[in-house]
Every structure is written in structure tokens, then in C-alpha cells.
């Protein structure tokens, strides 16, 4: 695995809807820009060797960094794979849609729910939204949110951006009724 860059972003919302947010709502993102392990090989039928060589190592690298960057207990999480134009969406999906990738973050956070994802092909500087859901109960509406990310120089044609995002709370001032109240 060849990593060119690791980017860490921390966002704190202190005020929203004309009201203070206390404690601040924190979101952290850690993204690795790596060379696509399947780039230049044409159509690769069996992605398993590349998955085995990279997915767990990526999860082990990114999970502790994003949890540390948040600096608070994790309540929501999500992931992303943005593939440069010389690759396939399947290349990014192969790296993030494995237990060997996601279980690193689940273990660190005590999470049990599905780790929501976004994946797409895009040129460098494309924006993408990482969906976030509660770490143990996807029906908790307050934690359904997303965080926008854009890396000015990635992904290049032969790269993939793999990112994890975590949040310390749900949306600021969330006040929608629980799913269970709807008929």
C-alpha cells in the first residue's frame, strides 16, 4: 500500500440556528490518499488479493487517528471511498466494505450498527458527503447527518481517497420525533 497523504479535519459547531451549541458538536474526518492497487491492470476479476493486502491495514491506520482527532466519545460514524477517474467504484468499495476494514473502528468505539458509506468515481477536488449514523442504533434520527469533504489535489487518476468520519453528537438542536412515533 502506497499512501501519499493523510488529511485530518476537525469541525466544531459552537452556534447553530441562532443558539449556542453546548457542548460543541464535534466531527472529525481522517482521509488517506493512496495509490489504487488495481490501477493500470485493466479489468481485474478477483479483487480478493488486493483487499487482503490493504483493507485491514487501512482500517488499522485510520480508525485510531479519527477517534483521537475527535477528542470525545464517538456517537456517530461513516466512511467513504472516492476513486480517481482511472479506477472503478468497485475498487473503493472493495477496500471499505469489508469487516476487516470497518471492525477496527467498531472495536474502538463499541459500535454495532452498519457503518454507512459513500463511494464514487471523481476527479481531484470533487466534494463528497460522508453519511453519519448512530454507532449502535440506526433509528436514532438525531444522528442522521453528513459531513462534506473536499481534498484539493485528490484523488489523482491513479488514486483512491479512503476516509472515516466520526461525530461526538447528533445534529445540533435535533428535535425530530423518534421513528417509533410514526405509523
Asked if the structure places residue 91 within a domain, the reply is yes
Asked if the structure places residue 183 within a domain, the reply is no
Give 68-100 pLDDT, tens digit per residue.
Answer: 999 999 999 999 999 999 999 999 999 999 999
Asked if the structure places residue 172 within a domain, the reply is no
Name the domain count of the chain: 1
Q: How confident is the model at residue 179 (pLDDT cuts 50, 70, 90)?
A: confident
Rounded CA-CA distance 167/150 in Å is 18
Give 10-24 pLDDT, tens digit per residue.
Answer: 999 999 999 999 999
Percent of the chain with pLDDT over 90: 93
Asked if the structure places residue 174 within a domain, the reply is no
* Amino acid 138: pLDDT: 87
Residue 130 contacts residue 105 (beta carbons within 8 Å): no
Give 104-156 pLDDT, tens digit per residue.
Answer: 999 999 999 999 999 999 999 999 999 999 999 988 999 999 999 999 999 99
Q: What is the CATH number of the domain that holds 129?
A: 3.30.1330.110
Domain of residue 109, residue span? 3-155
For residue 62, give the nearest of 48, 80, 76 by alpha carbon: 80
Rounded CA-CA distance 13/83 in Å is 29
DSSP 178: P
Asked if the structure places residue 167 within a domain, the reply is no
3-state percent breakdown (helix, strand, coil) of the chain, nearest 5: 25, 35, 35
- Dihedral sign, CA of 146, 151, 127, 62? negative
Asked if the structure places residue 130 within a domain, the reply is yes
Asked if the structure places residue 171 within a domain, the reply is no
Residue 183 pLDDT exceeds 70: no
Asked if the structure places residue 62 within a domain, the reply is yes
Amino acid at each position: 500500500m502506497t499512501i501519499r497523504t493523510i488529511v485530518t479535519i476537525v469541525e466544531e459547531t459552537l452556534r447553530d440556528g441562532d443558539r449556542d451549541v453546548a457542548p460543541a458538536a464535534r466531527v472529525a474526518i481522517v482521509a488517506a490518499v493512496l495509490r489504487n492497487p488495481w490501477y493500470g491492470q485493466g479489468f481485474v476479476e478477483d479483487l480478493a488479493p488486493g483487499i487482503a493486502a490493504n483493507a485491514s491495514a487501512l482500517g488499522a491506520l485510520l480508525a485510531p487517528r479519527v477517534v483521537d482527532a475527535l477528542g470525545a466519545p464517538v456517537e456517530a460514524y461513516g466512511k467513504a471511498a472516492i476513486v480517481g477517474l482511472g479506477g472503478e467504484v468497485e475498487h473503493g468499495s472493495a477496500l471499505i466494505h469489508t469487516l476487516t476494514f470497518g471492525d477496527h473502528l467498531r472495536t474502538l468505539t463499541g459500535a454495532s450498527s452498519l457503518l454507512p458509506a459513500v463511494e464514487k468515481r471523481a476527479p481531484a477536488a470533487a466534494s463528497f458527503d460522508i453519511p453519519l449514523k448512530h454507532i449502535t442504533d440506526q433509528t436514532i434520527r438525531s444522528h442522521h447527518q453528513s459531513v462534506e469533504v473536499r481534498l484539493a489535489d485528490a484523488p489523482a487518476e491513479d488514486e483512491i481517497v479512503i476516509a472515516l468520519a466520526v461525530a461526538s453528537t447528533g445534529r445540533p438542536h435535533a428535535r425530530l420525533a423518534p421513528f417509533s412515533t410514526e405509523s
